[in-house]
Structure 1
Amino acid sequence: MTNRRKNAFLGRSLLTTRLVAVALLGGGFAAALPPVAAMAQEYRFSQVKIEGNDTIEAATILAYAKIARGSSVSAAQLNDAYQRLQGSGLFEKVDLVPQGGTLVIRVQEFPTVNVVSFEGNKVLKDEILAGEVKTQPRKVYSPATVEADAAAIVKGYADAGRVNVRVDPKVIKRDNNRVDVVFEVKEGFVSEVERISFTGNSAYSDRRLRDVLQTKQAGLLHRLIQRDNFVADRVDLDRQLLTDFYRSRGYPDVQVTGVSSEMARDREGFFMTFNIREGQQYHFGKITTVSEVSELDAKDFEKLAKIREGVIYSPNAIDLAITRMEETALRKGANFVRVDPRITRDPKTQTLNVEFALVRGQRLFVERIDIEGNTTTLDSVIRREFHTVEGDPFNAREIRNSAERIRALGFFTKADVNTRQGSGPDQVIVDVNVEEQPTGSLTLGASYGASQGFGVNVGVQEANFLGRGQYLGVQVGTTSGTSSSSLDFIEPYLFGRDLKMRYHMWYDTSENDNSDYSTRMQGLSPSIEFPLAQNSRLELRYTFSRDKLYDVTAYDPDPDGDSTTSDAVGSSPILSREEGQYDTSSLGYTYTWDTRRTGIDPRYGFTFRFSQDYAGLGGDVTAVTSTALLRGERKVWNEEVTLRAELEGGMVNPTGDTQLTILDRFSGNGKIRGFEPNGYGPRDTGAPNKDALGGKYFAALRMESEFPIGIPEEYGVTGGLFWDIGSVWGLEDKAGATGTVDDSMHLRSAVGFSVFWRSAIGPLRLNFSKAIKKEDYDKEQNFDLTISTQF
């Protein structure tokens, strides 16, 4: 029997049952009265008898019926009892039969589910589908639940891009009142997004706007890229992403008026069109501040806006200004103060004048914060993202900011924060409803470099260790002749404050396959990091390391004793003198200023980092190591071209009687493209292998651009040009093999072209470079390929 016929049969049975019950009530108890009068009478049952129940207890049935022996019962109440029993989902059929002073409740139970199985599914495995359905073995069969389960399976396939899937539930009767439930799945084909287009956009190209969307067009690797599948629920997110993109760039009136999603004739693809009304781009005009709160002076808040007249309008700039002003008001002891931005337009000059008004808000307090949905994550991990606690004045903006911080944790697929009326008119309850997602991962990686060859990386990470919001990671990697391993543990909120504690350990080795020596470096470094201001943080650390330089091939200028040096062998005598094991104990700090995440204009960002480490708290090394980095990035030409620049430098100065070794000095690794690792810098030109020795100082300027090269953006391929310039120099011990050690500051420079590919197997980069300024003994590297993937 099909589901439709079965449901129709059940409907007719239920209607017949109800009519029989009413007829019996009218005929058995009030034969001499009109039907209306009979329905209005009350009855008493001295006994309630239950028939037909097999697995369900009589007490459960009486609990649903709510009919007590000896109490007055009207016909309407009997009808309500029938509705409750039928609505419980436990019974296929219910009859209420009055027999004198006895009420007989006759039921026919739904069968018990014996087996739940899936047929025809290939894309989504049984384990995934079993998690979508609520029908379970050894539980009561419910037709409504089975229909809901079929709909849930359809939705799961729709999220995977298969909108034309069909799911037919089948019920197979077994003995002992049992049934097997089989979901027959016809998966159909994946419905991919074949084309995404836009109408009404003039400020930004289709290519740039496609980068904003989470949905992507089907490309060459469409079988591997899941984001090119059409998912209806993703459309609203894409509309919001487009709106936010325009508004953050000075278009306050932008509207995504509609999204057209048309299915292709073969039902295997969709054509999406976003209709955009951009409006005009506005700049900030006059910025003023007024106070309607007697104890607050507007002059104390004017400088907190930090918005310059003439810059492109950004709602983020207004939000940051409001946050600074409201926090300042709280520090001054003024509660319930709200900052209202009053914006007036000047269409002629396309400017927005903003007046920040300090006004007295409604007196509301946070009664409590209720958290639901977290089964692994501790409440304290979520609660610490609130800067408001129970009893504090209610601030709607702070609650919204707290919700954003909870979502940014990455622990939840959903994090909704809402408010409702509390126990009193001045009380507010904050409800937090989260849905957890997996936070642990096993990473198996492969890498390739022209100098180091192929490598394998294995890592285990847990971002929410034991539900405490802590990070635990173990990494192991190896390439030709080298190996590295590390362990990291991070507590982001030590003592319940914005105080990050990190514990880092490492063990690295390199064999002398590509050099005349081997190294082993191991150590540990605990650190504490805390904020100094909105964009700046300070890290304090202690580092202990035990490094060893060994297997140095001794220099022999005349191995065959013929009084000639043409057959000399071995490494530089400098390295031989530095061979040994060294313990280093140091205290250090790092100051970081970063605007990439909190900057007002999303088109550019800056980073500045300065570090110093003071070695000499015991150990064999006493030195001061200082490094600095300034990085800038800006998007130009309608944000289709990205410009990047990095200026980096450092120095290590020995103190006391310390003699620095190659383990302490800087090398050229990764600082300038176009050269091999240790391919430039101070060198013993008289040694047989012209050994690179590293230097006390380094400086590097790296400039790069990234731009489209005409390949459709869905393939994720872009091009780039770069120019690097820099040097490594400075030695203390200059007594080389023949006294010819060059440690001067010779600038090196290289130019090149890069191909970036955001491939399905990981980010890939190909560098083609040419050194345009170098020394004769430098070692070039004209091509380099780097791949890193997770699988």
Structure 2
Amino acid sequence: MKNRVGTRANERAAVKAVKSVLFASAAALAVQAAVLPQPALAQSYTFTEVSIEGSQRIEPATILSYAGIARGQTVTAAELNDAYQRILASGLFEEVEIVPVGNKLVIRVVEYPTINRVVFEGNRRIKDEDLAGLVTSESRRVFNPATAERDAGIIVQAYAEQGRAAARVTPKLIRRSDNRVDLAFEILEGGVIEVERVSIVGNNVYSDRRLRRVLGTKQAGLFRAIIRRDSFVEDRIEFDKQVLTDFYQSRGYVDFRINSVNAEIAEERDGYFVTFNVQEGQQFTFGEVTATSDLADVDPAEFAEILRVRPGVVYSPALVENEIARMERLANRRGLNFIRVEPRITRNDRTLELDVEFVLSRGPRIFIERIDIEGNTTTLDRVIRRQFKVVEGDPFNPREIRQSAERIRALGFFGNADVNAREGSTPQQVIVDVDVEEAPTGSIGFGGTYSTDGGFGLNLSFNERNFLGRGQALGVELSTASGTRSYGFTFAEPAFLNRDLRFGIGLNYSETDNQYDDSYDTAIGRFTTSLTFPVAEYSTLQGRYTARYSEMLNAGSDLGDILTAEVDQGALFSSGLGYTYTFDTIDTGLDPTAGVRLQFSQDFAGLGGDVTSVTTVARAVGQKKVRNEEVTLRAVVEGGALWTGSNDSRVIDRFNLGSSRMRGFEPGGIGPREIGSGGVNDALGGNYFAVARFEAEFPLGLPEEYGLTGGLFYDVGSLWGLDNTSTTTAGNSVVQDDPAARHVIGASLFWTTAIGPLRFNFTKALQKEEHDEDRFFEFTLATDF
């Protein structure tokens, strides 16, 4: 076994060669001095014979070609040394020796052995087959120490990408017969080196806590033994620099820059300290926003009318891009080809405003010759091509190509996607090259849930986001909880008929035992097919058809007359149409710190089946981040109404307020109830509900690596309305069938852990009715493995 093979052998060979040359030179000089005293001259040799010794696989002629010495050639001692260095540099020999013997030059070599096999020792985190795919040393090839060292470095880098920067790899040789060796890479994996601290220097507006939420690099937390997000990955730093820059620029800090990023490892080599040195600059807002043009066929006033950005809005490059895209779409509708929109920005440092002048001009007449796609081994070409709003032969628009590249990356199908344009067959044509690298798109999930409403549960799921490479989404899910079983199947085609039209199919079946602790079970099956499409920049409309099977069964002896009558109805089938309109600016609006989401939906049952009804639900959400985005304020107002026509509704058709809509009460804890003898106390649900929720989420002042934040909330709401509100037999009666408001206050503790997000709610009902069932504590957990 030889460590760092070749190094000592090379040194010995060099010493031997130098000694040989010096000895021969000294002897020749002594003879000349004795015979004829004269001034010393540089020693030279002329060899009539060259002998190669020790070569087995390599031809002597090959060795002579490396030496560069021919028979009868006169060479100096320096040229002999150069010949030695050339033979050694070939990388074929473990030892080289050059010995002049009179008129004969002897070259002795020891060839490097052949690799018998390549093995890896000490690796647990990376499999042998994965490491074999990284190294270039292979069996049946001549061993090369430089290649072995390079392979060791590649293995070290692979471990560094997993956060194991302390990994060490040593190549060693195990000698075998017939000049063969086993090349063994001895691996010391080391532990994961965590990021002990992420610091930001130079930030005044936003706290370290807020900025660390943006970064992909996380500092070590309580669950450092089982979570990997806090391990140091060098490549993630570049990503963090980009997202940090995007964060500031989207909030008007156009002068923001990152001066440096330092990642220092502790002396114990057990942790990194990462420091971002930033310069925030001043926040700018939009000043005057105008549209101008010198083109005769362009009316600037028409384009100025569609501008959405107004003076005083915080400046963002994304908003400028949106305005450019909007004006270019208008130019296309007007038949104005090759129109380019250039934003000219005038800076006013006194008022901290940026005046934006959108100049409409006619660009060069360049067309798209073709779009070439490479690297997609699974995804079909058409899935990528439909992300382009242009096709071959259309006018070339650089901005549109950039946006197409972003849409391709946003698919999530590729680990890397590069889109570039180059000159085509003529200067007036361009070729768009799309180079993608496929990434896994399927997942199998195993998860656990717990809530005060549903108890413990398990989830099994399979999801494929790029089914058969067609860009379609397929999902299968099985969920079980205490007394509840649910089975679901979903399928979606995002570009139905090659248009911006999402086609979806959903199939779900669920069963419950002892619904709301009452003595009846339920079985509900639902089939839904839908079409969803955009109607405006922030709005979508979904139309759907729904077929529903529902049944209440296994009535218990303590069930009241109303629910007993509903159970006796047996299985019912409904069929109908519905729609949902959604307006959402929370994630994509003008202000990244605030937004609203408005939703209105109606479902009309009666297209065949046993049920005629109209279900209407409206929901409005407003969200605002204040105190430099440290505190999130949120308000939700929601209401619904159920009209059933001539037939009576059932409890499984009516609304029920769980903790997702109103906190502080048991499931079925508020609303109309049937109360009577024999322990009858049945939650009936209601045909109408109205709820308003107000909450604030804020930091607790603890290190954010603990993952703990706090919240306060106030809920007010009511559930009321039945088709049959008369007093029933045996003295039973319906109570609380009125819209009396319940008021709840509470505090929340949010804990982001390695096993999932936990939420603890502590509630107090300020106002409730006599038969309401409130509760003080709620706990939920959801996690995927």
Over residues 690-712 of structure 1, what are the superposed CA-to-partner deviations in whole Å (9 max), with x where a residue is unaligned? 20111111111111111100111
Shift of 1:678: 0.9
**Mapping for residues 129-528 of structure 1, pairs under 5 Å:** 129-135=131-137, 146-172=148-174, 174=176, 179-512=181-514, 514-528=517-531
Indicate the SS of the match to 1:228: coil
TM-aligned CA distance change 1:757 to 1:612, over 3 Å: same
TM-aligned CA distance change 1:333 to 1:777, over 3 Å: same
Indicate the SS of the match to 1:424: coil
CA RMSD of aligned residues (A): 3.0
Shift of 1:616: 0.7
Shift of 1:496: 2.0
TM-aligned CA distance change 1:255 to 1:577, over 3 Å: closer
Which residue does 1:552 correspond to in 2? 555
TM-aligned CA distance change 1:598 to 1:292, over 3 Å: farther
Answer yes or no: is the 8 Å Cα contact 1:461–1:474 preserved in 2. yes
Shift of 1:178: 6.0
TM-aligned CA distance change 1:635 to 1:447, over 3 Å: same
Distance 1:717 1:492 in 2: 38
Shift of 1:433: 2.2
Which residue does 1:557 correspond to in 2? none
The answer as to 2:603 corresponding to 1:613 is: yes
Which residue does 2:752 correspond to in 1? 758
**TM-score, length basis structure 2:** 0.84
Indicate the SS of the match to 1:236: helix
**TM-score, length basis structure 1:** 0.83
Distance 1:6 1:384 in 2: 58
Which residue does 1:712 correspond to in 2? 703
Over residues 216-271 of structure 1, what are the superposed CA-to-partner deviations in whole Å (9 max), with x where a residue is unaligned? 11122222232222222222221222111111111111111111222211122222
Indicate the SS of the match to 1:646: strand
Shift of 1:435: 2.2
TM-aligned CA distance change 1:678 to 1:263, over 3 Å: same
Distance 1:726 1:109 in 2: 87
The answer as to 2:734 corresponding to 1:741 is: yes
The answer as to 2:653 corresponding to 1:664 is: yes
The one-letter code matched in structure 2 to 1:714 is: E
Which residue does 2:579 correspond to in 1? 589
Aligned residues: 700
Which residue does 2:631 correspond to in 1? 641
The one-letter code matched in structure 1 to 2:650 is: T
TM-aligned CA distance change 1:5 to 1:175, over 3 Å: closer
Distance 1:305 1:127 in 2: 57
Over residues 378-414 of structure 1, what are the superposed CA-to-partner deviations in whole Å (9 max), with x where a residue is unaligned? 2222221111222221111111111111111112222
Distance 1:618 1:176 in 2: 86
Answer yes or no: is the 8 Å Cα contact 2:284–2:354 preserved in 1. yes
Distance 1:140 1:515 in 2: 79
Which residue does 2:77 correspond to in 1? none
The answer as to 2:543 corresponding to 1:540 is: yes
Unaligned runs of 5+ in 1: 17-50, 55-60, 62-85, 94-107, 555-568
Shift of 1:135: 4.7
The answer as to 2:676 corresponding to 1:686 is: yes
Shift of 1:722: 1.1
Distance 2:175 2:372 in 1: 46
Report sequence identity in percent. 51
Indicate the SS of the match to 2:6: helix
Shift of 1:420: 2.1
Answer yes or no: is the 8 Å Cα contact 2:699–2:710 preserved in 1. yes
Over residues 316-346 of structure 1, what are the superposed CA-to-partner deviations in whole Å (9 max), with x where a residue is unaligned? 1111101101111122112221111111111
Structure 2 counterpart of 1:677, from 647, 667, 691: 667
Unaligned runs of 5+ in 2: 18-54, 63-87, 96-109
Indicate the SS of the match to 1:334: coil
Pair member with larger Rg: 2
The one-letter code matched in structure 1 to 2:481 is: T
The answer as to 2:615 corresponding to 1:625 is: yes
Answer yes or no: is the 8 Å Cα contact 2:552–2:566 preserved in 1. no
TM-aligned CA distance change 1:143 to 1:594, over 3 Å: farther
Distance 1:536 1:136 in 2: 58
The one-letter code matched in structure 2 to 1:662 is: V
The one-letter code matched in structure 2 to 1:703 is: F
Indicate the SS of the match to 1:542: strand
Distance 2:722 2:114 in 1: 84
TM-aligned CA distance change 1:699 to 1:140, over 3 Å: farther
Shift of 1:605: 2.1
Indicate the SS of the match to 1:432: strand
Answer yes or no: is the 8 Å Cα contact 1:766–1:786 preserved in 2. yes
TM-aligned CA distance change 1:715 to 1:775, over 3 Å: same
Which residue does 1:600 correspond to in 2? 590
Over residues 646-693 of structure 1, what are the superposed CA-to-partner deviations in whole Å (9 max), with x where a residue is unaligned? 1111111113x3221112111112320001111111111236232011
Which residue does 1:573 correspond to in 2? 562
Deviates more, 1:574-583 or 1:406-415: 574-583
Shift of 1:156: 1.5
Distance 2:114 2:5 in 1: 21
